[in-house]
Structure 1
Amino acid sequence: MEERKFLATWQRYMPVIRLHLKKSLNEDQQFKLNITDFESAGGRSKTGYTFNISMENGKVTNNISGSPVARDLYEAIRTDEAVKALLLDKNVKISVGKSFMLTIKTTHLSTYR
């Protein structure tokens, strides 16, 4: 199995992510990540630290296999019971851009499919 370089870093951010996920039900949320936390975790991949994760009901709906940073964030989310409960019946998009700003956008899933 592949080394999870960024998992411990994301686990330290989980209380903040949990808080912003709750707030994202009312409005999009953003907060700045500390780039040195990630640089000290290990070398970055070809994709750098930027990524997008789209989740529906807590399951990833886009391909994050090329981004170790995104995969490790999803692993931290998947193993956090409080966050898993927040993701039920929701579409959530989490992204990190070049400015190292983490953005969370949440919408409720439609009951009419």
Structure 2
Amino acid sequence: MEERKYLTTWRRYIPVIRLHLKRSLTAEQSFKLNITDFESAGDRGKSGYTFNIAMENGKVTNNISGSAVARDLYEALKTDEAINAMLQGKTVKISVGKSFLLSIKTSHISAYKEI
């Protein structure tokens, strides 16, 4: 299996994701991805490109091992210093649905959870 085929594609989206991540502190954000960017990187066929990533303090808390698209997005996110800083102290959910709409929902981690 070819590794990291979506990483280059996601890196092109990082500036847009950074902007929407910042805005997601006040309201859920979403924007449309270009399907041809992903199809040219690798054909997912019937399985599609849908996924959910749940993160706390910049660490993934759900299993994304089955989705190369999600793994490569996380790889691109964690190599961006500005995004890493924004993820600290927050719970972030990033998802892509069948309509190729990427959604970002951010909330602060409760201080009570630290105990």
The structure 1 segments of at least 4 consecutive aligned residues displaced by more than 6 Å after TM superposition are: none
% of aligned pairs identical? 75
User: Please, what is the CA RMSD of the aligned residues?
Assistant: 1.3
Structure 1 residue 46 displacement after superposition: 5.7
8 A contact 1:45–1:67 mirrored in 2: no
Calculate the TM-score normalised by the size of structure 2: 0.94
- Write the mapping of 1:39-54 to structure 2, written as runs, cut at 5 A: 39-44=39-44, 47-54=47-54
Give the Cα–Cα distance (whole angstroms) in 1 for the partners of residues 85 and 45 of structure 2. 31
Matched, 1:12 2:44: no
How much does 1:47 deviate? 3.0
Contact 1:96 1:103 in 2 (8 A): yes
Q: How does 1:89-100 map to 2 (within 5 A)?
A: 89-100=89-100
Instruction: Give unmatched runs, 5+ long, in structure 2.
Output: none
Q: Unmatched 5+ residue regions in structure 1?
A: none
The one-letter amino acid paired with 1:15 is P
- Aligned residue pairs, count: 113
Deviations 1:2-36 (A, max 9, x none): 51000000000000000000000000000000000
1:42-65 CA-to-partner distances (Å, cap 9, x unmatched) read 121663100000000000000000
TM-score by length of 1: 0.96
